[in-house]
Amino acid sequence: MARAFDVSKFRKNITKAVPGLSVGFNDPDTWISTGNYTLNKLISGDFNKGIPLGKVSVLAGESGAGKSYIAAGNIVKQAQDQNIFVVLIDTENALDETWLHALDVDTSPEKLLKLNLAMIDDVAKVMSDFMIDYKKDYADKEKDERPKVLFVIDSLGMMLTPTDVKQFEAGDMKGDLGRKPKALTSLVRNTVNMLGEYNVGLMATNHTYASQDMFDPDDKISGGQGFIYASSIVVAMRKLKLKVDADGNKTSQVHGIRAACKVMKTRYAKPFESVQVEIPYETGMSPYSGLVEFLEAKEVLKKSGNSLEYTSHTTGEVIKMFRKPWNANKDGALDLIMTEWDDHKVDPVVVEEDIDADELNNNTPLSEETTTHEAE
């Protein structure tokens, strides 16, 4: 009988031979909510999860689509609520302390470090130095004894290369479109494995830009494919006008934005599903926004005349209400449905295989339809 292979000896030898080698699996065990139950469900397969630590997540979209609101606002706040330290890298000089406070973000130095950086090389240096120091201080500690950290970069699209700066100083405004994608790819390639090994998260926003191809007019994600390949979650966002007041009535005035979110890539659920999340100017995003439409599309909520009804899988009780009480989560009805979701078996999790970069960059237009009321 052949002798069993000595895995322990091999692991010991290869760990010595390859400095920084990460051995084993890095499955996420810490999740940070986006502040919206439906978006959480679409990207992670669970209403109460969201983005994972130890992985790379990207929100890409046009200006004003709600990327910073979700990334630098909701996600940072939710991270802080879980005692996760946040390093917020502002490349746009746009994140004011007053605005962050309005979103309940704690800007104290014990909770958040805000860095104003524009150069890709500087961002890479900061992350590299952090990972070296983190490894030195905590490599010998158990995973649950290490402090949890989330990096948030807002945004990738505004970062500069040294060539950009030199050309600007010389009055040459051609830009450095060739090196920038390579620099971003190098940044994520050099950090992605360390993030997984030490359970440090990276959340980045990015811009989309208008296509110059008359045969492929869909918006494109800037910065090349490096972050797309390395990301576990990529969400494309578009801005629609919210012409609905606080009571759900249609108006001619714009009361906020409707962020149309399409999951372009996820390793934890079925990709290419969409949700439209309302962000009213006065009240901000409701965690239940878009949930009624999602449940209706999944036929968990069923139409009954002018009402929507749900039959509890636990008690058999039939809950029947008009749309507005459902949207307001009257008597915790939506909470009940999310609690009982596993019994529905209407949305099996599909682990996505790697998606071709061209397919991702096609950035299929997000549907502007709503099941309740029109965006315009």
pLDDT, residue 369, reads 39
Contact of 41 with 71, CB cutoff 8 Å: no
User: What backbone torsions phi and psi does residue 264 show, to the nearest 5 degrees?
Assistant: -85, -30
Looking at the predicted structure, is the pLDDT value of residue 143 above 70?
yes
What angle do the packed helices 179-198 and 120-138 form, to 10 degrees?
A: 20
Strands 274-280 and 256-266: antiparallel
Q: Helix, strand, or coil here: 238?
A: strand
Give strand pairing partners of 192. Answer: none
Longest CA–CA separation in the chain, Å: 81
User: In percent, how much of the chain has pLDDT > 90?
Assistant: 61
Looking at the predicted structure, is the pLDDT value of residue 366 above 50?
no
Which pLDDT band, with edges at 50, 70 and 90, does 353 fall under? very low
pTM equals 0.86
Strands 302-304 and 307-311: antiparallel
pLDDT, residue 352, reads 43
pLDDT, residue 175, reads 66
Contact of 129 with 190, CB cutoff 8 Å: no
Contact of 115 with 88, CB cutoff 8 Å: yes
Strand runs (DSSP E) across the chain, as ranges? 31-32, 51-52, 56-61, 85-90, 112-116, 149-154, 201-209, 220-221, 233-242, 256-266, 274-280, 302-304, 307-311, 318-321
Contact of 207 with 222, CB cutoff 8 Å: yes
Strands 85-90 and 149-154: parallel
pLDDT, residue 98, reads 97
Calculate mean pLDDT across residues 336-364: 57
Residues contacting residue 306 through CB under 8 Å, at least 6 positions apart: 322
340 or 162, which is more confident: 340
Interatomic CA distance for residues 309 and 325, integer angstroms: 11
- Per the structure block, which two tokens stand in for 243? 């012409």
Structural domains of the chain, with CATH: 25-235 (3.40.50.300), 290-346+367-371 (3.30.250)
DSSP string, 329-363: TGGGHHHHHHHTHHHH--S---PPPPPPHHHHHH-
- Per the structure block, which two tokens stand in for 347? 């949305």
**44 preceded by a cis bond (ω within 30 of 0):** no
From first CA to last CA, the distance across the chain in angstroms is: 74
Interatomic CA distance for residues 119 and 168, integer angstroms: 13
Give the helix, strand, coil percentages of the chain, each rounded to 5.
35, 20, 45
Say which DSSP state 365 is in: P
Q: Give the total residue count for the chain.
A: 376
Contact of 361 with 229, CB cutoff 8 Å: no
The sign of the dihedral angle between the CA atoms of 296, 298, 304, 309 is: negative
Contact of 343 with 312, CB cutoff 8 Å: no
Rounded to the nearest integer, the mean pLDDT of the chain is 86
Interatomic CA distance for residues 74 and 56, integer angstroms: 17
Looking at the predicted structure, is the pLDDT value of residue 71 above 50?
yes
Interatomic CA distance for residues 328 and 58, integer angstroms: 30
pLDDT, residue 355, reads 46
Interatomic CA distance for residues 366 and 238, integer angstroms: 7
pLDDT per position as a tens digit, 192-249: 988 998 999 999 999 987 777 777 666 678 777 888 899 999 999 999 999 888 777 8
322 or 14, which is more confident: 322
Interatomic CA distance for residues 106 and 112, integer angstroms: 7
